[in-house]
Amino acid sequence: MAFLSKLFKYIIRRWYLLAITTVLIVISTYINIYIPQLGGQVIKNIIEIGDFNALMWLVIQIIGFTGILGVVSFISRYVNGYFSQKIVYEIRNDAFRSIQRQSLGFFDRINTGQLMSRATTDTERIGRFLGFQFRMLVQTLLLLIGVVTSMIMIDWELTVISFLIVSLILVNFSIFGKKIRPVISKSREYFADITSTLWENISGIRVVRAFAMEDYERRKFQKPNNAYYEMMIKATSLRAIFLPLTGLIGGFVMVIVYWLGGMRVIEGRIGIDTLYVFSSYVSMLMRPMGMIGMIWTGYQRMAAAGERVFQIIETEPEVKDKPNAIELKNIKGHIKFENVYFGYEKDKPILKNINLEIKPGETVALLGPTGSGKSTLIRLLMRFYDVTSGRILVDGHDIRDVKLKSLRRHIGIVSQEIFLFNRTVKENISFGKPDASMDDVIRAAKIAQAHEFITNFPNGYETIIGERGLNLSGGQRQRIAIARALLLDPKILILDDSTSSVDVDTEYEIQKALNALLKNRTTLVITQRISTIRNADKIIVMDNGEIIEEGDHETLMAKKGAYYRLYQTLYEAQKEILEAVDARRKLQKAMVTERDGGE
């Protein structure tokens, strides 16, 4: 019932559509009940009276009412379809809106396939019930009342006998519904796992091929696929057992009606026309009984799907604005971490007693082994998660006291795992600022050293770059991401530029883009790039969730501690490319000097 109350909030918004549908169903139900009576009169006129003129008039009436029934049914179906799709549209919008506002912890707990399944197939199941099955429920109840009333008026004894036997159809479907619901619910979960595995495999197909892991991934996919297959076979078995019983019960009740009704005709208690009308009503009675069972099964499926959808809609984000949150307007970019502790699980802290001050315009490089807490520090500043204790300040404001959107509007991020959309280059660069002019987009691309290769594309800035930007090289993707951040012109910049090996030209172009990006911004960089580390105003070395060293390059090198050892390792790994980039830079500088001198 809790689920129905939630659904009712959506239904009541479109009550007028429901009212129109109900009125039309009442009209069609009355016509359905009246037509067998006309049929009985036709039989009476043929057998007992032989009145040809009356027979013609009755046939014309049947044709007319049948035509009216067709028109009314068409309008009823259309209005009800519009009603159901409108509700599904609103529920799906609310589900998507809820997904959009969830904290990252939510996505840590629920996989992509589950979310996709709930927002698509589960909402469609709700629509299917509200469309066809809900209309049939109203029609069935009205038909049941009208048919039983008409049968009682003909022969109440035969009605009671018929109704008792036909009721077995309802009992049959009720048992079927109880047994099928957990099977359907479980099958939806397995289907979501299939979706998730499929999506992940398609997204990572290049990695799968590169490591020749096709067989492994096929076996991995087979597990949820087998589970789903077994659930569907179980559902098929239940249908094979219960659904044929409906036909068996229907056949049995018609035998009883013809036997007892025939005896009444022989005894002269009723006419053949009356037996025809009564048997027609019994056939109509079996239909609503069977429909109630099917509708009950449909409701079970819809309720299981609806509970999953509303679970998403009603989930409150762990990180959200306070009621009195303030708007963070113009900022300088002064950041402070004060006694910050954090853990994804409360008893397992990842960050411990972090104290760090970053002045406006400073560039801070974060170094440390995997799992040292660098990325977590960044996520806390973005307020993807809230600190367990302590606080983070931006220009003196605790970030928990400011509106999330206003905080993130001042922060630009270029991640190592760059996500680009399957849209045009222009749309990707202007993603954070859709109303940006073409001139602004081009200006950002030029600063990011991306304009030249973009203009070489067949359609320039209107080129579709492919899903996740896979039609681009790694360096091209990174420079488009840098242009995207530049267009926002944020005061605070977060840069995770830990890159795999790139060629000298790409490294040189990326470095020029980064130099432009870091200018006049407060910047936190998670990096292994020596050139970025050396130029940083402050270097933070982290290990096991704590800051173990802090200072500039010269100071930390003089200490010969953790930073010194880490730097030596990085330098050896990057020595060749650093020397090549330095040589490239000197050559270009010499060419510029020569050109200027020549002029």
- Which of 314, 349, 377 is where one domain is finished? 314
pLDDT band, very low/low/confident/very high, at 393 (cuts 50, 70, 90): very high
Instruction: Clarify whether residues 401 and 309 are in a common domain.
Output: no
Determine, yes or no, domain membership for 251. yes
Q: Are residues 6 and 91 in the same domain?
A: yes
pLDDT of 215-273, one tens digit each?
877 887 888 888 888 888 887 777 777 666 666 766 667 777 767 777 777 767 776 77
Is the domain of 375 the same as that of 229? no
Instruction: Supply the mean pLDDT for the chain.
Output: 79
Q: What is the pLDDT of residue 340?
A: 92
Q: Which is nearest to 534 in space by CA: 517, 556, 565, 516?
A: 556
Query: Domain check: are 77 and 131 in the same one?
Result: yes
Q: Specify whether 302 is located in the same domain as 339.
A: no
- Shared domain check, 303 and 386: no
Give residue 598's pLDDT band: very low, low, confident or very high (50, 70, 90).
low
DSSP secondary structure letter of residue 13 = G
User: Is the residue at 462 inside a domain?
Assistant: no
Give the helix/strand (H/E) hosting 254. Answer: helix 214-266
Mean pLDDT calculated for residue range 562-579: 77
Last residue of one domain, picked from the residues 266, 285, 314: 314
377 within a domain of the structure (yes/no) = yes
Task: Give residues with Cβ within 8 angstroms of 353, minimum separation 6.
Answer: 339, 340, 341, 390, 546
CA angle 116, 117, 118 (to 5 degrees): 95
In sequence order, which residues have a C-beta less than 8 Å from that of residue 236 and are 6 or more positions away? none
Q: Is there a single domain that holds both residue 355 and residue 494? A: yes
**Using 50, 70 and 90 to split pLDDT, how confident is the model at 91?**
confident
Instruction: Note down the domain range covering 495.
Output: 335-410+490-598
Position 502 pLDDT exceeds 60: no
- 174 contacts: CB under 8 Å, gap ≥ 6: 293, 296
At 247 the pLDDT is 63
Cα pseudo-dihedral 251, 257, 258, 259, rounded to 10: 110
Residue 297 CB contacts under 8 Å (≥ 6 apart), including other chains: 173, 176, 177, 180
Instruction: Tokens for 422, please give them.
Output: 């399957």
In sequence order, what are the residues at sequence separation of 6 or more whose Cβ sits closer than 8 angstroms to the Cβ of residue 326?
A: 397, 401, 402, 403
Alpha helices by DSSP H, 267-359: 272-314
- 111 shares its domain with 148: yes
C-alpha span between 303 and 520 (Å, rounded): 55
Give me the CATH number covering residue 208: 1.20.1560.10
SS3 of 187, please? Answer: helix
- Give yes or no: residues 294 and 362 share one domain: no
Other Cβ atoms closer than 10 A to 170: 18
Q: For Cα atoms 181, 184, 190, give the angle at the middle one, nearest 5 degrees.
A: 145
3-state secondary structure of 268: coil
**CA–CA dist 586, 264 (Å, integer):** 112
Altogether, the residues listed in the chain come to a count of 599
Sign of the four-CA dihedral 480, 481, 484, 485: negative
175 bridge partner residues: none
**What's the pTM?**
0.65
**In this structure, are 214 and 348 located in the same domain?**
no
**Structural domain contains residue 324:** no
Residue 268 φ/ψ region, left for φ over 0, alpha for ψ in the -120 to 50 degree band, beta for the rest: left
In whole angstroms, give the CA distance from residue 138 to residue 539: 71
Distances in Å between the Cα of 439 and the Cα atoms of 423, 436, 442, 445 are 19, 8, 5, 10
Q: Give the model's confidence band at 117: pLDDT under 50 very low, under 70 low, under 90 confident, else very high.
A: confident
Residue 231 lies in a domain: yes
Judge whether 387 lies within some domain.
yes
Q: Tell me the CA end-to-end span of the chain in Å, nearest whole number.
A: 84
Using DSSP, state whether 459 is helix, strand or coil.
Answer: coil
Does residue 365 fall inside a structural domain? yes
* SS3 state at 200: helix
- Of 250, 281, 314, which closes a domain? 314
Q: How far apart are CA 408 and CA 429, in angstroms?
A: 17
The domain total for the chain is 2
pLDDT confidence of residue 500: 44
Q: 152 and 59, same structural domain?
A: yes
Q: Would you state the pLDDT for residue 408?
A: 86
Provide the pLDDT for residue 207.
62
- Residue 509: name the closest of 533, 485, 535, 473 by CA: 473
Is residue 422 in some structural domain? Answer: no
Neighbours of 256 (CB within 10 A): 14
What is the pLDDT confidence band of residue 487, given thresholds at 50, 70 and 90?
Answer: confident
**Which of 178-187, 281-290, 474-483 shows the lowest per-residue confidence on average (mean pLDDT)?**
281-290
Q: What is the pLDDT of residue 355?
A: 93
273 and 208 within one domain? yes
Greater confidence, 558 or 18? 558
- Cα–Cα nearest to 70, from 116, 35, 121: 35
Of 90-94, 377-381, 589-593, which range is least confident?
A: 589-593
Q: Are 488 and 448 in contact (CB under 8 A)?
A: no
CATH of the domain at 372: 3.40.50.300
Question: Nearest-5° angle of CA 583, CA 587, CA 592?
Answer: 150
Amino acid at residue number 454: I
